[in-house]
Structure 1
């Protein structure tokens, strides 16, 4: 992935294509809005509802994918994530999803 330009539409939609990543990014968006841009989320809080399987997927799939695109800054030593240098590029899509759940297709089991 070329990090010199902006996130492509395909990359942004791919990042949002997984329900767990969307939940994580929405939680980070809400925390970012409350904390004036210094959002931090403990990774263990993200995994507590999904058990060990979710924890493994976070550590081996979701967080590396989000970190490699610059959307999150994963601080492994502190076991937390923060908004990354590219988070603002996803912010409009995240707000759209948050603000219009009634007109957008919902998640289906």
Structure 2
């Protein structure tokens, strides 16, 4: 295997958390840079099944913080996104495009996640 290829085990690990799966699914569906707020809204919609306007600010902050400090750094470390923390922007990389079929297959197999995951 070439040095630029991402191991399937890494893709499985990244998809092992529901919030990361939703973030990856949203990025895969949108095919563009998204904000941390966009990804937070997607997580609220698909994981918590309620409108953002009905969720408490504390729960929204918790989701945003987990994205900022846990989930996006893991996805960034794998080289799938560039996470600009100052601007709150998440941009898929070329490596993301390479593993998108694997990510899509895992997301499609998730019985709790309706596909496509849209903003």
TM-score band by shorter chain is 0.7 to 0.9
Distance 1:73 1:105 in 2: 26
Distance 1:91 1:47 in 2: 20
Q: Do the aligned partners of residues 105 and 31 (structure 1) sit closer, same or farther apart at CA in structure 2, a change above 3 Å counting? A: closer
Contact residue 40 and residue 81 of structure 1 kept, 8 A? yes
Could you say what the CA RMSD is over the residues aligned between the two structures, in angstroms? 2.2
Structure 2 portions without partners, runs of 5+ = 45-58, 114-119
Moved more, 81-90 or 12-21: 81-90
Q: Which residue of 2 aligns with 1:43?
A: 36
Distance 1:85 1:69 in 2: 12
More helix by share: 2
Structure 1 portions without partners, runs of 5+ = 33-38
Q: Is 1:84 matched with 2:93?
A: yes
Q: Which residue of 1 aligns with 2:112?
A: 107
Q: How many residues align?
A: 96
Q: Which residue of 2 aligns with 1:36?
A: none
Secondary structure of the residue aligned to 1:78 is coil
Contact residue 41 and residue 82 of structure 1 kept, 8 A? yes
Q: Which residue of 2 aligns with 1:20?
A: 19
Q: Which residue of 1 aligns with 2:4?
A: 5
Match of 2:69 among 60, 74, 77: 60
Distance 1:11 1:95 in 2: 15
Distance 1:31 1:51 in 2: 22
Q: Which residue of 2 aligns with 1:29?
A: 28
